[in-house]
């Protein structure tokens, strides 16, 4: 249903204006530094990966509209999927053992959808400050054991600003930067072991994006990007489960993502 709504929005927008359209396909790799903490601020478990451990792809589909003489609007839909392994250090679920008593590998799946609207102000011919707003969907499926999968989902509401421009007059190179705050709507975590749905506390992300776009002949662009994502999740509610009273603890996640690919505009 959500995919149909997003598609309808894009088709409706296209019907009222003649956009400049951009398609892009990028290959991605993400490094993760994730930790969960007890109420006493002791580390309960960690997940770590390096670049190359988690990889995937990103699809971008965007429109540019000439809204006024001083600026334009960009509407873009992004789909990203990544998967791979992280190194887990913690303890087994339901066991009262200390941090580090169990070590293994987790299988991870990340899926993100995002519909973003940006207004770019034509401050100068080569400088375009921007404001952006987006609604997204985030999923992280974390399989620690064959019978233990934790699935995190929420709807990020994104507010941000940035600057696009051409800073090297002798090179056909564009730079895009943005800083964004993401507030997670309806954050939940489903634990397969006990078939329990936990309502997470506030889920927040602080995101920095940097993209370099080299303009090649025939409307083709070579794209290199970097993303830094700092995530905080507050503790969930406490529920009675088959393993006793349980809750999802406070966590922090530091993610870095690199991506390379090609775009085509017309």
Tell me, what's the pLDDT at 3? 54
The pLDDT tens digits of the residues spanning 3-30 come to 544 444 444 444 444 448 999 999 999 9
Residue 76 has pLDDT above 70, yes or no: yes
**What pLDDT band is residue 257 in, cutting at 50, 70 and 90?**
very high
Through-space distance between the first and last CA atoms of the chain, rounded to whole angstroms: 29
Other Cβ atoms within 10 Å of 46 Cβ, number: 19
Domain over 2-265 is classified CATH 1.10.760.10: no
Q: Are the CB atoms for 141 and 149 separated by under 8 Å?
A: yes
Residue 173 has pLDDT above 70, yes or no: yes
Tell me, what's the pLDDT at 116? 98
Domain ranges of the chain: 2-265
Tell me, what's the pLDDT at 239? 92
The pLDDT tens digits of the residues spanning 90-143 come to 988 877 778 888 999 999 999 999 999 999 999 988 999 999 999 999 999 999
What residues does 79 pair with on adjacent strands?
59, 113
Q: Are the CB atoms for 243 and 253 separated by under 8 Å?
A: no
Tokens standing for 22? 């951009």
Report how far Cα 60 is from the mean position of its chain's Cα atoms: 13
- Which of the residue ranges 9-23, 44-58, 61-75, 214-228 would you say has the lowest mean pLDDT? 9-23
Distance CA 45, CA 219 (A): 48
Tokens standing for 202? 């506030």
Pairing of strands 127-145, 71-90: unpaired
What is the pLDDT of the chain when averaged over all its residues?
91
Largest CA-CA distance found in the chain, in angstroms, rounded: 66
Tell me, what's the pLDDT at 16? 43
Tell me, what's the pLDDT at 244? 87
Tell me, what's the pLDDT at 2? 54
State pTM to two decimals.
Answer: 0.89
Burial grade of 99 (CB within 10 A; 0-12, 13-18, 19 or more): middle
- Which of the residue ranges 36-50, 93-107, 227-241 would you say has the lowest mean pLDDT? 93-107
- Which of the residue ranges 29-43, 86-100, 167-181, 207-221 would you say has the lowest mean pLDDT? 86-100
**What pLDDT band is residue 61 in, cutting at 50, 70 and 90?**
very high
Distance CA 58, CA 93 (A): 34
């Amino acid at each position: 249903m959500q995919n149909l709504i997003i598609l309808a929005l894009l088709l409706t927008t296209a019907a009222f204006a003649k956009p400049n359209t951009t398609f892009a396909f990028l290959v991605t790799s993400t490094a993760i530094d994730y930790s969960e903490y007890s109420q006493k601020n002791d580390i309960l478990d960690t997940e770590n990966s390096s670049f190359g451990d988690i990889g995937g792809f990103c699809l971008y589909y965007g429109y540019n509209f000439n809204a006024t003489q001083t600026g334009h609007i960009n509407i873009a839909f992004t789909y990203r999927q990544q998967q791979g392994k992280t190194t887990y250090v913690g303890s087994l679920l339901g066991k009262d053992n200390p941090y580090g008593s169990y070590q293994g590998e987790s299988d991870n799946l990340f899926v993100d959808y995002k519909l973003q609207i940006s207004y770019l102000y034509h401050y100068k011919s080569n400088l375009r400050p921007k404001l952006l707003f987006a609604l997204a969907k985030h999923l992280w499926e974390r399989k620690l054991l064959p019978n233990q999968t934790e699935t995190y989902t929420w709807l990020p509401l994104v507010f941000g600003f940035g600057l696009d421009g051409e800073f090297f007059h002798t090179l056909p190179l564009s730079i895009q930067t943005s800083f964004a705050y993401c507030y997670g709507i309806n954050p939940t975590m489903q634990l397969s072991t006990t078939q329990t749905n936990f309502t997470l506390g506030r889920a927040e992300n602080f995101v920095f994006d940097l993209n370099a776009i080299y303009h090649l002949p025939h409307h083709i662009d070579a794209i290199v990007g970097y993303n830094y994502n700092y995530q905080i999740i507050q503790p969930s509610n406490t529920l009675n489960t088959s393993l006793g009273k349980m809750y999802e603890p406070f966590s922090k996640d530091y993610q870095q993502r690199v991506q390379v690919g090609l775009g085509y505009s017309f």
